[in-house]
Structure 1
Amino acid sequence: MSRIKKRITGLQISFMVILFEIGSTPLFLLGADARQDSWLAMSVGAVAGFALLSLFLWIQRLMPEMELAEMLHFGFGRITGTFFGGIYACYFAYQSMRNLRDFGELTSLTLLESTPMSITMLVFILVAVYAIWKGGEIIFRLPEILLPGLLLCYFLLIILFILMRHVSFARLAPVAENGFRPILQAALPEILSFPFGQMIVFLLLWRLWEKPGVPVKQTVWAYIGVSVFLIFMNALNIAILGPVLAGSFYLPFLQSVRILSSLRFIERLDILVTIMIYIGLFIKMLIWYFCAVETAASLTGTSSKRWVLPIGALIYGASFIERNFTQHMAIGLGPSTQIDTVFQIFIPLLLGLAAAIRGRSRSAPK
């Protein structure tokens, strides 16, 4: 059973789904290998992600009052379940570390070029430590405050792009010029893993809902809405920069916004975008961190607060392992994607099947 009081509303869950999925995703051109069809690759990834979301919801409905570590115990037994639980705690901490490093690199590239990354990341992780120490109820209040402002900023930027006539959707043509194979290769597993497969974290968050059962409607509608938004943002980057130019930048959305520098009455809009990305990165880092803490606490049967500082220190220290931003991006879009496939697809599939079999065997008449 959950160690946290169930005070999370359906609206808070919907907002968290949207903000968590947005994260830093619009900053990059996902599926760039598909060139002008990258938005189609994003669409394929969203559809595949919805199938994966359905799997996660099914698992949660099989075990509605359990969190992930308890599910693993139920499905695989105590020894194997504890092993997988420990691996998941490390995986969650690793993902949190990646977002923390993204924050440090982005700060160095845009706002505080002379400030050491170690300082900016330390401030970031300390804020997260405070939020997690206060508990899940506080964490779920953040999207209610941050999401409306974030969406308003995106809306204003899109309007500015259109008014300044920088958007040409003709750059999205020809559609599927080389067939659907490059689109599928760009979408799977890269886009499926990031951002859509990361919904795995909600196997630790849905149980906090204030009502009995699983918030299926709130989650599904939020997922559909944010998927449409991310597909549009991917298409927008292509429509502004073109497939070749957009694919040549690490952060094409920032480059797109810098085009608006021709506006005489607004300068340095890239700072606004950076702040918007900070919001998404913070929520993602915070949720991964929270899940690592909760999993470790569940496995050891101890208070979550005992794990906040040790795991926070681990995340901060590990963020310096990668030598530079190029290596960070190469790992994130390469080997990391293969690891994601194991934790987001294979283990949940096995867990769902094992839980269904064990559930039937327990309910069968003796």
Structure 2
Amino acid sequence: MVILFEIGSTPLFLLGADARQDSWLAMSVGAAAGFALLFLFLWIQRLMPELDLAGMLHFGFGRIAGTFFGAVYACYFSYQSMRNLRDFGELTSLTLLQSTPMSITMLVFVLVAIYAIWKGIEIIFRLPEILLPGLLFCYFLLIVLFILMRHVNLTRLTPVAENGLWPILQAALPEILSFPFGQMLVFLLLWPLWEKPGVPVKQTVWAYIGISVFLIFMNALNIAILGPDLAGSSYLPFLQSVRTLCNLRFIERLDILVTIMIYIGLFIKMLIWYYCAVETASGITKIPRKWLIFPVGALIYGASFIERSFTQHVAIGLGPSTRIDTVFQIFIPLILGLAAAVKRQSRSAPD
């Protein structure tokens, strides 16, 4: 689930495009910063292993403030799910079903997500077991084709750090830290579901390292194929990279394969954000989860039409949205962890 969630829609965009040919270095900086953030989340979970995020907020901040922050987080999770749902609609409209209204395609995906969440978390966690092997095989196949067709030109990645480290840091922080690495925040609602006692630290860390290396490689691959100018100006650079394979005589329309691959990551990400929104809302209101699935789904679906165009959607998602993310992914969790540690310490101290 860590691998598939982190893949999500990340390969769809060129993160760190402002760093040009050094965008893969910006991705590396973001992954390293996200690794430190991951340990913050693991530390918080180990402080309160029996609680999910809603319970942690109540424990750390008290009933009133905890309920307030829980409601804010439920809205935040719904917003993130909406962003992935809109990505679904835009990608379908651009590649597969140009004549079908986005409202129809997005409604279908919301209904599938509603069904999955209604059936329970066990069904959701079986999806990666089925989908991930095929997804990784497809990525491997495309990488091999790029290499065999000699579309990879490593000179496009040079000169390295031409303008120093500052542009790389600016491109990485906070944008790449927030998306995708800081989104590991959702596992504060998923780790308590693990069937064994404690927190799955080893599994999570190795999965994070593996997916970080993969995303850095994919970022460098897009630059090596398209060059920094074309990759930075393209809405969907990975799709553009795959279309360079159009001179293959025995395979056509590989962009359809890429679209399906992106669908898998997008669906998992939208589903997890949606599930976390429902669980957080249920935790603070004490309303049964199944009663909230449809209202939250309706909210996510309705909010997906607020942004007027795909250009505006991408500009908000990779701009102001990532800056707001730092509040939810860094500042509030850090304060929560410190508050919980102080409370634990005071409770364990002798009278």
TM-score category of the 2 structures, normalised to the smaller one: over 0.9
Rounded to whole Å, the distance in 2 between the matches of 1:364 and 1:79 is 26
CA-atom RMSD in angstroms: 0.5
SS in 2 for 1:140: helix
Quick one: which of 214, 223, 228 aligns to 1:243?
228
Counterparts in 2 of 1:275-294, with a 5 A limit? 275-294=260-279
- Residue in structure 1 matching 2:26, options 41, 52, 56: 41
Q: How far did residue 356 of structure 1 move?
A: 0.3
Please state how far the C-alpha of 1:170 moved relative to its aligned partner. 1.4
Confirm or deny that 1:265 pairs with 2:250. yes
The CA distance in 2 between the partners of 1:321 and 1:333, in whole Å, is 17
Tell me how far apart the structure 1 counterparts of residues 257 and 138 of structure 2 sit (CA, whole Å): 8
Q: Displacement of 1:202 after TM fit?
A: 0.1
Is 1:117 paired with 2:92?
no
Aligned pair partner of 1:108 in 93, 115, 127: 93
**Which residue of 1 is the match for residue 156 of structure 2?**
171
Structure 1 residues 69-128: Cα deviation after superposition (integer angstroms, max 9, x where no partner): 100010011100100000000000000000000000000000000000000000000000
Q: Map 1:342-361; keep pairs closer than 5 Å.
A: 342-361=327-346
- Give the aligned residue type for 2:279: E
User: Which residue does 1:185 correspond to in 2?
Assistant: 170
The answer as to 2:55 corresponding to 1:70 is: yes
Counterpart for residue 77 of structure 2: 92
Q: What letter is aligned with 1:245?
A: L
For residue 6 of structure 2, what is the aligned residue in structure 1?
21
Give 1:338 shift.
1.5
Aligned to 2:313: 328
Structure 2 CA distance for aligned equivalents of residues 206 and 120 of structure 1: 32
Give the secondary-structure state (helix, strand or coil) at the position aligned to 1:141. helix
> So what's the TM-score if we normalise by structure 2?
1.00
Q: 2:185 aligns with which of 170, 176, 200?
A: 200
Deviation track 1:164-212 (CA, whole Å, cap 9, x = no partner) reads 0000111111110000000000000000000000000000000000000
Output the amino acid matched with 1:150: L
Which region of structure 1 is more displaced relative to structure 2, 47-56 or 330-339?
Answer: 330-339
Q: 1:234 aligns with which of 212, 219, 225?
A: 219
One of 94, 106, 112 as aligned partner of 1:127: 112
User: What letter is aligned with 1:264?
Assistant: R
Structure 1 counterpart of 2:259, one-letter code = T
**What is the aligned partner in structure 2 of residue 157 from structure 1?**
142
Report the count of equivalent residues.
351
Matching residue's letter, 1:108: S
Q: Deviation of residue 301 (structure 1)?
A: 1.3
How far apart, in 1, do the equivalents of 2:5 and 2:322 lie? 18
Instruction: Tell me the percent identity.
Output: 85
CA distance in 1, matches of 2:48, 2:76: 22
Instruction: State which of 286, 295, 306 in structure 1 corresponds to 2:291.
Output: 306
How far does residue 302 in structure 1 lie from its aligned partner after superposition? 2.2
Could you say what secondary structure the match of 1:246 adopts? helix
Off by >2 Å, runs of 4+ in structure 1: none
Q: Distance in 2 between matches of 1:221 and 1:32?
A: 27
Report the Cα distance in structure 2 between the residues aligned to 1:70 and 1:292, rounded to whole angstroms: 14
Shift of 1:284: 0.2
For the residue of structure 1 that corresponds to 2:288, the secondary structure is coil
| Distance in structure 1 (CA, Å) of the matches to 2:147 and 2:214 | 16
TM-score (norm 1): 0.95
Distance in 1, Cα, partners of 2:315 & 2:207 = 30
| AA aligned opposite 1:343 | F
Q: 5+ unaligned residues in a row in structure 1: which ranges?
A: 1-15
1:234-258 CA distance string (max 9 Å, x none): 0000000011111010110000000
Distance across 2 between alignment mates of 1:246 and 1:116: 28
Query: Which whole-Å CA distance do the structure 1 matches of 2:12 and 2:302 have between them?
Result: 25
* CA distance, structure 1, for counterparts of residue 41 and residue 9 of structure 2: 23
